[in-house]
Chain A
Amino acid sequence: REPLSASMLASALPHVQKQMIGDRLYPLIYALHSELAGKITGMLLEIDNSELLHMLESPESLNAKVEEALIMLQAHQA
C-alpha cells in the first residue's frame, strides 16, 4: 500500500482519519506487542494526526511512543 499522506487524510472526516491511521499503525504495534496492540493503538490515536503520520514513517519515533504508552498502561492497571 502507498504511504498515508496528509492530503489523503484531509478528505476524510476526523473519526475516519483516526480509523485510517489506526489501520496502518495497528500492524506495526502488533509486531511489537501483540497482546496489547489494540489498547496501545487506541492510546496513540489520541496524538495529533501530523505526529502520527510521522510515527508511521519513523520506527524510532513509533517505538518511543509505544514504550511511553506501555508505561502509562502498566501504571493505570497497577
Chain B
Amino acid sequence: GSSVNWPPEFHPGVPWKGLQSI
C-alpha cells in the first residue's frame, strides 16, 4: 500500500512534524 510512511518517526532533538496538519 501507500501507507509505508506511517507511523511518523520521532527523533530526539529534531522538530516534530507529525502533527503538521493542525
By the criterion of a CB under 8 Å from any partner CB, how many residues of chain B are at the interface? 16
Is the interface on chain A under 10, 10 to 19, 20 to 34, or 35 or more residues? 10 to 19
Known: A14-B22, A15-B20. A38 touches B15 (CB 8 A): no
- Chain B residues with CB below 8 A from A43, complex form: 7
Q: How far is the CA of A14 from the CA of B9 in the complex (A)?
A: 18
Q: Which of A3-11, A19-27, A50-58, A59-67 forms part of the interface with chain B?
A: A19-27
Label chain A's interface by main secondary structure. Answer: helix
In-complex Cβ contact of B16 among A15, A73, A76 (8 A): A15
Chain A residue, CB-CB nearest to B1:
A76
Known: A14-B22, A76-B3. A45 touches B16 (CB 8 A): yes
